Structure 1
């Protein structure tokens, strides 16, 4: 009699059902805490802006803006428009303002972050209003009509994430009798398929990537591979709890720190700090670098993703060593595999 037939013949106890509810309830708590703390009250913290020009008047404008904004902004001065545009392209500034009494102008890079550009626009629209002049806004790295809010890279990351972390439980339970080497090979194959789906969605389906699609696919593959390798390795130790841990690592902490909706300068220090090295941020910012900044900075984000792939490789290596030393059972029982698949469906 199979585990499913046994379950039908012997109805589950209340305790058994309640144990199955632990994972979704923990996910509910974790998701609520993570998402609400990260997204509910975005507030600028030391958003970098600049005033362009030299002389006492420029210094006075910069000082006045800094005094008015307090810790919300970090105001500097730059001598020329070219210097400001260079820093916008390297994504070191959210905006740069030319305090020309006749034609005040603000330079932004919408491709970096819609939210940060909005902060800069609000601040310097007020400054220009003091002169009684409308503010001219020049976007040096615009997004496309198919990605007007610059959230496309974030939603691509969400799609690839879901395909990757849900596949971990499917591999762990469905391929329970396989060797770790075989499961690792399958994981890399799944990463190829999931990242290809992401590339198709980003390219011909939704036209997020008007160019650079091979690079988008490559970054997506590194991202998916890192999640799948870490998950396959952790599954050796965590079994049915792997799904919960993967949700913590690659949803609760990942989506919230990716910079896809709000840049780290608009979030609290915890999520802003994670943005510097978490793999979701590596994918989102890497895709933006490819699509809107001519590849400037993409190497750094690719190295971030490669580091996560290396962590995945180390996790698989640790799992192989543990199985070889018989510290953990290499194979789940059929009942455990069925339970894990049930929890995956519930998620």
Structure 2
């Protein structure tokens, strides 16, 4: 095997190996050891006994729980439906009750139940668990929205290969219009999956499509813009941004209170969390918190438009640097600005650094095959 060929293979192996390391660190760091971390819970009652009980729970749990007291059961239900708390315990000598909202997080509801079941057991009475916001029967764990997020993400960042690499010969304005169209199609596919196919969403499909479009468009515009600058490293960058950091911080499997501080912090502003929490708000919680999550998606879309705009400026043809009578090889910019080139000029453009058709196809295959 010739040395240049070996170097070519080894260079292409860098990306999958870095993906292996990154995916292992991200997924195992976020999902392997979920533990409560300032998990918000409430104790119902205004009597001094309730406050003493709440303080006892807090002292026993330490930093695992953030415990507050609320006066009535209705107040506790309100906090659960606004996702301010993960669970609420109603003390009783005969029939203690735990309120949860599993549509917000099935894992969070399970974690709270594990905390308060032993408390009721000490009183020698069974614990009644009441779910005030259950997911639809077609999605009993409430995790279907997380897998919908994965489908939308893959459809979006894989499309960057076609729009960024195979579409490199097209003007940026054309690629931008294609990006709008592709993101609308990806959002439509996601809506069909969420609605008629798997019945995750029984209402507000138009709203689901709108958020899916915003989410997809943000990823696509960022990817198409970055491709101008990063070339073959765009794939790795997109994987870091929209898989490694995105899926792990989305809250689709574990709410941030069950993760370490890094992923919990990302949950506050990352686009995957904006989509998942926004869809939950729309489908289960009466639009509570929806506007904030939509604005998160809008900000990511605006960031994508800025990156794409910068790429368009970077790709603008520059004045030729050669004298009028110069007959040497054309620069890459000059060659890209020429609609059709003769074979000799094509060879000169290749020497100046332009991609051949084979190289473009190879980059597309590499990205889509991830």
Q: Say yes or no: TM over 0.5.
A: yes
Aligned match of 1:308: 300
State how far apart, in whole Å, the 2-side matches of 1:161 and 1:48 are. Answer: 30
Q: Are the equivalent residues in 1 in contact too, given 2:158–2:368 (CA < 8 A)?
A: no
Kept in 2: contact 1:323–1:329 (CA 8 A): no
Pick one of 189, 208, 211 that aligns with 1:216.
Answer: 208
Cα RMSD (Å) of the superposition? 1.8
Normalising by structure 1, we get a TM-score of 0.94
Secondary structure, aligned partner of 1:31:
helix
Query: Which residue is equivalent to 2:46?
Result: 54
**C-alpha separation in 1, matches of 2:246 and 2:205:** 23
C-alpha separation between the residues in 1 aligned to 2:240 and 2:274? 17
Structure 1 moving runs of 4+ over 3 Å:
325-332
Q: Distance in 2 between matches of 1:173 and 1:76?
A: 54
Greater Rg over alpha carbons, structure: 2
Show CA shifts across 1:9-50 (max 9, x none): x99711111111111111111111111111111111000001
Aligned partner of 2:264 among 255, 262, 272: 272
Which consecutive residues of structure 1, in runs of 5 or more, have no partner in the other structure? 1-9
Shift in Å, 1:343? 1.3
2:121, 2:164 → 1: CA distance?
A: 61
Corresponding residue for residue 277 of structure 2: 285
Deviates more, 1:320-329 or 1:226-235: 320-329
TM-score by length of 2: 0.88
Q: Which residue of the partner structure matches residue 359 of structure 2?
A: 336
Alpha-carbon distance change, 272 to 329 in structure 1, aligned in 2, over 3 angstroms: farther
Which moves more between the two structures, 56-65 or 184-193? Answer: 56-65
Greater relative CO, 1 or 2 (CA 8 Å, sep 6+): 1
Which residue is equivalent to 1:4?
none
Determine helix, strand or coil for the equivalent of 1:13: helix
Q: Does structure 1 retain, via aligned residues, the 8 Å contact 2:161–2:368?
A: no
Contact 1:174/1:337, CA 8 A, preserved across alignment: yes
In the aligned structure 2, how far is the partner of 1:339 from the partner of 1:206?
Answer: 35
The answer to whether structure 1 residue 196 and structure 2 residue 188 are counterparts is yes
